[in-house]
Structure formats: C-alpha cells, structure tokens
Structure 1
Amino acid sequence: MKLSIKRTIGGALAASLAVAALAGCAPSSDGGGDGGDGGSSDVTLTLVTWGGTTEEGFKKVYADPFTAETGIKTKMVNPVDYGKYTAQLETGNITWDWVDIEGWFAYQRQADWATIDRDVVQYDDADVINPPGKDYSTIDWGIPSPSYSFVISYRTEEAQHPTTWEEFFDTDAIPGKRAIYNWPYGMLEVALLGDGVPMDELYPLDVDRALAKLDSVRDDLVFWNSGAELQQILSTGGAPFAFAWNNRVAALMKEDQPVAIEWGENLQDGSVNTIAAASPRLDETMQFFNFMMDADRQRDVALSTGYSPVLKSSFEKIDTDLQPLYNAYPANLEQAVGTIDHDWWAENYDAVSAKWTEWAAG
C-alpha cells in the first residue's frame, strides 16, 4: 500500500496545486500577492500560521489565489504568537487578520470574536465533518478549521505494538521507548486513558494522576517538542512507539518510511477559524473565510498538510487510497475514543501548562 500511496499523493497533490497555481499569481518577496487579474486594493490581510509546509499549503491554495480573484493582498507571517495576538485583542489594535489558533485559545477568548456573517461565509452545516461530541453548527463566532488526531504510532519492524493507551503505558508487556509530546495538551488525556479512566469521566482532568502515570514509565520516555522532531525520532528508531499527530506520521508513510498509525482510541482535535471583532478589515476577512470554505480548496490544503478537510464533500474528493491516512476517514472516526474538551482547556490551559513545565524539568 505504501508504494501506491506515494505515487498517488505525488500525482494528486501536483495536479490539485497546479490548479491553484494557475489561478494565483507569482508570490512576492513578502509572501503577498500583487493583485493579479482580480483588480487592486489598498487592503492587505495578514495571515499567521505556524510556518513550514502548513504555511506553504495555505499560501498556494488560499492566499495567492484569493488575491488574484479579489485584488485583496495577503501577507503570510509565522509563527503564531499568543502573547502578541492577545495584546492586539486587548488593545483593539488588530494587525493580524487570520491566525491559525488552537481550539483552546479560540474558546478561551470567545468574547473577542466577531459573529460570522453566514450570508458572506457560505457552506452547508450538514456538509461539515463533526468529530465525536462536537457540533460546529452551534458556534456563531467561528467556522470549523481542518482537524487531526493524537494517535499511537509505531515502527513496522516491531513484533507487536500498543493498540490502546493502556498498552502504550505498559512497558512490561510491550517493551520499548515511548516518544511523547513535551506539552500537556492531549498528553494528559492519554495518560489518564492509559490509567484506566474512561473517556466519559475524563474531564475535569486529574492532572496529578496523569503526571503520576507518566512518572511510572519516565525512564522509557523520549520527549519531542515539534513535529519535525517527532518525525526524526520515528525515522531513526529513537523510539519504536510514539504519541503522535497523525498527519506527521502519514507524511513519513508517504515517503515509504517503516512507520504506521494505530487508529485504535485515537483522540480527535480541531479548531475554529475566528475573526477579531475589532478588526478594521472585517469585511475582507469574511470574504477570505468564504474563499477558504470552497470544497476543492479544502481538499487541496488537506493534500498539502495532512489535516482533514472541514467538509464531507471535500473529503470525498481525496483519492480513496489516501483517505485512510486522515482522521476524518469514517473508519478512523469510528475508532476515536473522543474529542479534546476545548472548554476545559480554555479555563485551565495556563495553570496546567505551568505545572507541566515544572514537571518536565524535574
């Protein structure tokens, strides 16, 4: 299957991004378009991502073609900096128009977001892929953004691999190093699942119990701090098993690396695209959001980043050989243990992050 995946992703991604490239204009040195054939505008939208391939995909599929079609310039900036963005929100001096924020931040600052004008941002709520326990149609201050899962990953030469989070933390039954994310978001959930806490009793998270579970296997832990570091550990065999973002593992699988994803008990996560209510470019950003919700563009970004698209109609446009690599694949959704509770994290993120930093340094 790996060989067919590799060939398919190359052809599908090249074809889909070629369409975007033809529609767009040549990028300028600052990452913005020059207006193309879509007219001209004095407005420039600043779009903030985490950088890397995600930014490249957004620029090719969204930013440049949007400028070409509307004449509204775009400028890509990285990385996301919550401190800087919070300062903008609190002063009302908004210079960042769209920011690739995580779900906890979107929910933490709900009062700062503009109500989405659904006459401008048009899509069918019935077409949205809702993860377990989530219904984005109840949110009027944001629109769903691409999603992913926390999964167990493993090197395929291993005789056996963990299929549940309890097995992931049972290093006696399945020996071997475990690579884990050096951050509490998602890690605390799986540690508690590994300690026998059922998903429906997970929140509020028992942070001390989760850290104690991690301590019980601390000698077998390898910490990763970025997606690139995770991929390096898996590629080199620094750890045979890992708590991972599914799209990062999928990227290695497309390169025929000897790694795979265990979808059992995957923990789903996504976010919400928001617009600051105080933005002086509210109308233009609404136009950009509508542009982003196009089914073909959603598919193209999914092919570029490995995140699942927002719309079912977009997912159906992904080659069937590739669909199993995405968290929104129906069989993977069925195996999900649940979805991150953004409301809990919105209330507790800062305090829990500080506690994790102290624990990790110990």
Structure 2
Amino acid sequence: MERTGKSLQLSRRQLLQVGAGAAAFAVTAGKSALAQSSSPTELLVTGGGGDFGVKLQKAYYDGFQAASGIKIVPQPYKGLAELKAMVEAKAWGQADVLLTSAGEAAMAEKLGLSEPLDYSLVKKDDLMKGSFGKNYFLTDVASSVLAWNTDAVKPGSEPKNWVDFFNPSNRAPRALFKNWNQTFEIALLGAGVPIDKLYPLDADLALKTLTAIRDTIRWYEGGAQSQQMLGGGEVDMGMLWVNRADGLVTDGKPVKYLNTNTVLDGDAIVIPAGHPNKDKAMKFAAYMATPEPQARLTNLTPLGPTNVKAVPLIEPDKLAKTATAPAFAATNRFQDFAWLADNGDKLTEMFNKWLLG
C-alpha cells in the first residue's frame, strides 16, 4: 500500500482553513488537464506511484482499458485537503477517481466530499464485512506489521508481539508512522489492549505508551522511508506496511516480520462529489470491485482482496502472505473507519500537541 505521511493529519478545522489559496491552486492545476479529464476515452486516477503504481497498472488499469476502451491515466497521490480544494473549486481536471487511505475515504464521506457509490453495479455481498461505506470501498487489504532487522536482533531476542515492541526497557531504535492513525492502534496493542477492544481508542493510553519509548522512536512519513530505515539498519525494528516489509524480504534484506495481531486498512476508491464524470468513474469503481483484478494485485504484492470470490483465483503462496490468509485472519481486525472519521479532529490535535511537547 502506498501512503503519504499526510494521511489523516489535517483536522476538520484545518481543512476548513484551506481557503481560497488552495482552491485557486486547484483551479490553476486543473485547467491544463480539464480537456483530458473530459475525454470520453480516458479517466484520471490518483494513487500510489513507483513499483506500486506499476502493479496497479498490471492488476487494474490495463484490464479495464481492454474491457471498456477507457484508458486510465495515473495521477500523483492526493489526500483529503487536495480533494476538498478540488471539489470546492470544481477543478475536475485533477482527477476523476481517487485511490486513498480508508480512513481518509471515511472522512471524505462524512464531510460530503465524495459521491455515493452505485451498489447496484458493485456486489456488496461479495465484499468483506467492514471493507466499505456508502461512498467508498477498499480495493485491497493491507496490514501494519511488526518487522525487525535480523542483523541487529538476534534469534531468541526478536519481538514476539506489540507488547515486546513497546517494552520501554528495550532501548533499541524503532520506526513508527508519524501519524496517530494506525500508530495509536498499535500503541494500544503494545499496552496490552485486546484487539477486539481497541475502539473507542484510548488516546491517553496510546500517548502514554508512546511516551515511554519516545527517545527511541524514529518517525517515517512514507513507505519507502520505512524500508530504508529498517533495511539499512537505522532502526532495529519497526511498524511497516506489509507490502513494504515483504518487499525487503524479497530483495534479500535481513528482515523478518509478523502478520498477526494487527490492524487492517487498505486503498479505498473515492469519486469526488459533483464530478461530471461520475458515471464513467463508477464503471471503473465497479471493475475494481470484481474478483479477477483484485486477485491479480494479490498475486503481485501481499495485499489481500476485499472481494471474497477473488480468493480461489490467487496463487496459494501469494495468499499465504496476506493478513487475511486463514493462518492470520482471526488474529487481525479492520480499523473502525467510521469511528476514525468521527474522532479525527480530537486525535489529530492530541497527537500534534504531543509531538511538539
């Protein structure tokens, strides 16, 4: 999964302050691409780039073009603030469809920034419970895994769970995502909170747990940075997104990871509210919900499908690496996306204040 460190970092108050400057930027940026966005044979889709972008192309974009005649034109990742500016300015030339984090998708729905999806085209009954809302659904399932560098952490002393990871007596440097979203959940697991009792999040306890290891934390703001930290030996262990951790293993780096007792999220599809291309965008959304392309993505990277009918189409050794594989599924849980959207303001302010303290 491809994210930026800005995911869910802006409170609703901050979003309302994006203002005319951001809107003007959106209009300016959108003018050059407006004709392209209006083309009946193209769709502008924002999402992850780099290696993950190549995998999205192979799993989804090429197949959709072959089936529909509509070409997907990838665009740089856009977060919640950019979506808000785009919708308010009607700067449609920036994107027809967004692939964003599930938490941001839930916030976009709550703020009225996204279109309701047509579930007559998407078979909701085929999607995993907890993987969709009125205005979004997850196209894949990612997990935040506990990973460690085997050169730094010798056999027998490796962390066996999040409680070990957050043990303050261990002064080893460790990597964490510089965002309360996901990090608070992991910290609460480190404090011994059962995974089925995570919500509502106890932010005070999460911050207390983080405070106990504060001087050992090395923050990252993106997946590539987390890989560099762990694979390069800057940290002994870290919370990494599963595809990033597995990528290190595949590349022969001295890394191992656990895919159990963790929270699940994923890339979610969002259509900007009021978009004139929403009908065409909905066709693409419906395609992304089908089993065949979801299975192709899992065969390329260890992100599980949300369509349960994709499972038989996935190579067994590839499925075994996902957090939704039979060996791991019962130990993990989805984030409560609606709760995150409802409480993002307060938690953002608490985390930012703690960072400054």
TM-score by length of 1: 0.78
Indicate the residue corresponding to 2:159 in structure 1: 162
| Pairwise CA distance, 1:200 | 4.3
Distance 1:55 1:298, change over 3 A: same
Residue identity opposite 1:108 in structure 2 = M
Indicate the residue corresponding to 1:106 in structure 2: 105
Distance 1:274 1:79, change over 3 A: closer
| Pairwise CA distance, 1:104 | 1.9
Give the distance between the partners of 1:262 and 1:201, measured in 2 at CA.
Answer: 21
Distance 1:279 1:330, change over 3 A: same
CA contact (8 A) 1:48 1:77 kept: yes
CA contact (8 A) 2:84 2:113 kept: no
- 1:326-351: per-residue Cα shift (whole Å, max 9, x none)? 11112111222x32121222123244
| Pairwise CA distance, 1:87 | 1.7
| Pairwise CA distance, 1:202 | 3.0
Unaligned 5+ residue runs, structure 2?
1-31
Give the distance between the partners of 2:295 and 2:198, measured in 1 at CA.
Answer: 33
The residue correspondences of 1:34-113 to structure 2 (distance < 5 A) are: 42-95=40-93, 96-110=95-109, 111-113=112-114
Secondary structure at the aligned position of 1:154 is classed as strand
Give the distance between the partners of 2:62 and 2:139, measured in 1 at CA.
Answer: 19
Indicate the residue corresponding to 1:232 in structure 2: 228
Distance 1:113 1:43, change over 3 A: same
| Pairwise CA distance, 1:276 | 3.1
The residue correspondences of 1:238-277 to structure 2 (distance < 5 A) are: 238-277=234-273
- 1:290-332: per-residue Cα shift (whole Å, max 9, x none)? 2223322112222334321222332332222222211111211
Give the distance between the partners of 2:71 and 2:242, measured in 1 at CA.
Answer: 33
Distance 1:233 1:345, change over 3 A: same
Give the distance between the partners of 2:312 and 2:235, measured in 1 at CA.
Answer: 35
Aligned positions, number: 316
CA contact (8 A) 1:177 1:241 kept: yes
Residue identity opposite 1:117 in structure 2 = D
CA contact (8 A) 1:54 1:304 kept: no
Residue identity opposite 1:59 in structure 2 = Q
Give the distance between the partners of 2:90 and 2:278, measured in 1 at CA.
Answer: 13
Distance 1:202 1:66, change over 3 A: closer
Percent identical pairs in the alignment equals: 27
The residue correspondences of 1:1-362 to structure 2 (distance < 5 A) are: 42-95=40-93, 96-110=95-109, 111-121=112-122, 123=123, 125=125, 127-130=126-129, 134=130, 136=132, 139-157=133-151, 158-159=154-155, 160-172=157-169, 176-336=172-332, 338-362=333-357
Residue identity opposite 1:49 in structure 2 = G
- 1:21-52: per-residue Cα shift (whole Å, max 9, x none)? xxxxxxxxx99xx9xxxxxx634311001322
> Structure 1 stretch 202-211 or stretch 215-224: which is displaced more?
202-211
| Pairwise CA distance, 1:241 | 1.5
Distance 1:354 1:279, change over 3 A: same
- 1:191-232: per-residue Cα shift (whole Å, max 9, x none)? 122223334443332323322211111222222221111111
Secondary structure at the aligned position of 2:40 is classed as coil
Distance 1:238 1:195, change over 3 A: same
Residue identity opposite 1:63 in structure 2 = Y
Give the distance between the partners of 1:307 and 1:162, measured in 2 at CA.
Answer: 23
Secondary structure at the aligned position of 2:328 is classed as helix
| Pairwise CA distance, 1:171 | 4.0
Distance 1:42 1:270, change over 3 A: closer
Unaligned 5+ residue runs, structure 1?
1-29, 35-40
RMSD: 2.7
| Pairwise CA distance, 1:86 | 0.8
TM-score by length of 2: 0.79
Give the distance between the partners of 1:120 and 1:344, measured in 2 at CA.
Answer: 27
CA contact (8 A) 2:249 2:256 kept: yes
| Pairwise CA distance, 1:239 | 1.8
Give the distance between the partners of 1:90 and 1:163, measured in 2 at CA.
Answer: 47
CA contact (8 A) 2:304 2:319 kept: no
Residue identity opposite 1:90 in structure 2 = E
